[in-house]
């Protein structure tokens, strides 16, 4: 049976990128595979989260996992820092991770560029910690967005290296996964790159209908096509990309045709997009608050989750210790 694992950093509310890149897949996969979905609080700490807010953010992600439809009786949901084997496997794997390859990781270089005053060792070993998350459960499939592709590639490098080094066939080659399609990158509404928590260009699962409409109506477009079949500007291309995730094929075809024939009205396009986003977000949002306020339920979910997670992580770490030569007296 497939073993699925994935995680999200608790750095704020989840946005549409997190949903279509990761969370929606979690919900769809849980009935067909053994699934582990966790909250990556150690990873969040690499950018120095405020201690006053970390727990609250963990609670937010946990409530959003559950509101989106992850069933804790079927999938295992846990908080990364509740499972000490994560730290141990990360340490053991770091013995075979080369500083050069970690320094070349795109996400590390990006963090160094954006935050030159906080180039900490945790940022450098971020992909090792992530490999530990995945390999602890010997996961075969990892539902993630396109931005995590390189981290998964490194996880496979570490797994192969470990297997070769010790002459074992222990770790699988974990593959990034998107239900029935290529990995996705949901763009922001500001005409640039991807939707992100810190880029201030996102639509959140907790946003009200009114906020969603306002954000979409403000999305960057252009002055409109002047010739049939002219290429899309970045802003308009982004709107169509988000539409691909939320709207029906008929709706998308209709607006593409209107664009190709220069009859498009961006106001209509945005109104339609906003309504289609609301159809996805509203039912989730309505469940978030109630779940978030049910402290005893949340406590039970993470306690049971940590216990279930430890069953497989205990086994993996004991075996890795044995393979690497750590023996009890
Ligand atoms: P994080 O917290 O940045 O993002 C969580 C998930 O959301 C996806 N995502 C997107 N997908 C499509 N379009 C976007 N605009 C977009 N923005 C975010 C990410 O690809 C990710 O799947 N390193 C991970 C957390 C992690 C993890 C793991 C993931 C730690 N250990 C083990 C999988 C397996 C991260 O920072 O994701």
DSSP string, 50-99: -HHHHHHHHHHHHHHHHHHT--TTTSEEEEGGG-THHHHHHHHHHTT--H
Pick the catalytic residue from 34, 59, 111, 215.
Answer: 111
Task: For 19-48, write each residue's pLDDT tens digit.
Answer: 999 999 999 999 999 999 999 999 999 997
Mutation test residue for ligand 1: of 12, 37, 40, 64, the one with most atoms within 8 Å of CB: 40
Q: Is 233 marked as a binding-site residue?
A: no
Positions of the chain with pLDDT under 50 = none
Q: Enumerate the β-bridge partners of residue 194.
A: 187
Ligand 1 centre from 299 Cα, in Å? 24
Ligand 1 centre from 137 Cα, in Å? 18
The pLDDT, as a whole number, for residue 198 is: 77
The pLDDT, as a whole number, for residue 49 is: 78
Ligand 1 neighbour 147 (Cβ under 6 A): yes
Q: What is the DSSP letter of 22?
A: I
Q: Is 11 marked as a binding-site residue?
A: yes
The pLDDT, as a whole number, for residue 180 is: 76
Q: Enumerate the β-bridge partners of residue 209.
A: none
Pick the catalytic residue from 197, 258, 271, 308.
Answer: 197
Mutation test residue for ligand 1: of 46, 90, 133, 144, the one with most atoms within 8 Å of CB: 144
The pLDDT, as a whole number, for residue 17 is: 97
Q: Cβ distance 26 to 284 under 8 Å?
A: no
270 annotated active-site:
no
The pLDDT, as a whole number, for residue 124 is: 98
What torsion do the CA atoms of 174, 176, 178, 181 make, to the nearest 10 degrees? -100
Ligand 1 neighbour 134 (Cβ under 6 A): yes
CA separation (Å) from 278 to 60, 134, 201, 204, 292?
Answer: 20, 33, 17, 11, 21
Q: Is 186 marked as a binding-site residue?
A: yes
Sheet of strand 175-177, all strands in order from the earlier edge strand to the far edge: 76-79, 34-39, 3-8, 141-143, 175-177
Q: Enumerate the β-bridge partners of residue 37.
A: 6, 77
Ligand 1 neighbour 17 (Cβ under 6 A): yes
Query: How would you class 248 by CB atoms within 10 Å of its CB: exposed for 0-12, middle for 13-18, buried for 19 or more?
Result: exposed
Altogether, the residues listed in the chain come to a count of 329
Ligand 1 centre from 159 Cα, in Å? 20
Residue with token string 């497939």: 2
Q: At what angle do helices 126-136 and 85-94 cross, to 10 degrees?
A: 120
Residue with token string 């499939």: 141
Q: Which residue's CA is the closest to the ligand 1 atom numbered 31?
A: 130
CA 4 to chain CA mean position, Å: 13
CA separation (Å) from 58 to 21, 40, 49, 147, 271?
Answer: 19, 9, 11, 22, 33
111 annotated active-site:
yes
Q: Is 215 marked as a binding-site residue?
A: no
CA atoms in the 13 A half-sphere facing the CB of 110:
6
Q: Is 34 marked as a binding-site residue?
A: no
């Amino acid at each position: 049976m497939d073993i699925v694992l994935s995680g999200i950093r608790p750095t704020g509310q989840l946005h549409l990128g997190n949903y279509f890149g990761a969370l929606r897949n979690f919900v769809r996969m849980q009935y067909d595979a053994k699934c582990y979905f966790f909250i990556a609080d150690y990873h969040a700490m690499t950018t120095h989260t405020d201690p006053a807010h970390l727990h609250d953010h963990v609670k937010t992600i946990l409530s959003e996992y559950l509101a989106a439809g992850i069933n804790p009786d079927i999938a295992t949901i846990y908080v990364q820092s509740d499972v000490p084997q994560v730290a141990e496997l990360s340490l053991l794997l770091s013995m075979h991770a080369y500083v050069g390859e970690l320094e070349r990781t795109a996400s590390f270089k990006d963090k160094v560029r954006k935050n030159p005053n906080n180039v900490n060792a945790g940022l450098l070993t971020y992909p090792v910690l992530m490999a530990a998350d995945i390999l602890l459960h010997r996961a075969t499939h990892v539902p993630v967005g396109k931005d995590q592709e390189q981290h998964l590639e490194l996880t496979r490098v570490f797994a192969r290296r470990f297997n070769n080094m010790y002459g074992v066939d222990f770790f699988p080659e974990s593959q990034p996964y998107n239900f029935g399609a290529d990995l996705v990158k949901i763009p922001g509404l500001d005409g640039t790159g991807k939707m992100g928590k810190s880029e201030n260009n996102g639509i959140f699962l907790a946003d009200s209908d009114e906020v969603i409409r306002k954000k979409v109506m403000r999305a960057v477009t252009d002055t409109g096509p002047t010739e049939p079949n002219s290429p899309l500007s970045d802003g308009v291309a982004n709107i169509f990309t988000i539409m691909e995730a939320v709207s029906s094929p008929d709706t998308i075809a209709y607006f593409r045709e209107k664009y190709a024939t220069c009859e498009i009205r961006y106001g209509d396009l945005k109104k339609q997009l906003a309504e289609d986003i609301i159809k996805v977000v509203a039912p989730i949002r309505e469940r978030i608050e109630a779940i978030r306020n049910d402290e005893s339920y949340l406590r039970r979910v993470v306690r049971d989750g940590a216990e279930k997670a430890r069953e497989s992580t205990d086994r993996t770490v004991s075996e890795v210790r044995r393979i690497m030569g750590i023996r009890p007296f």
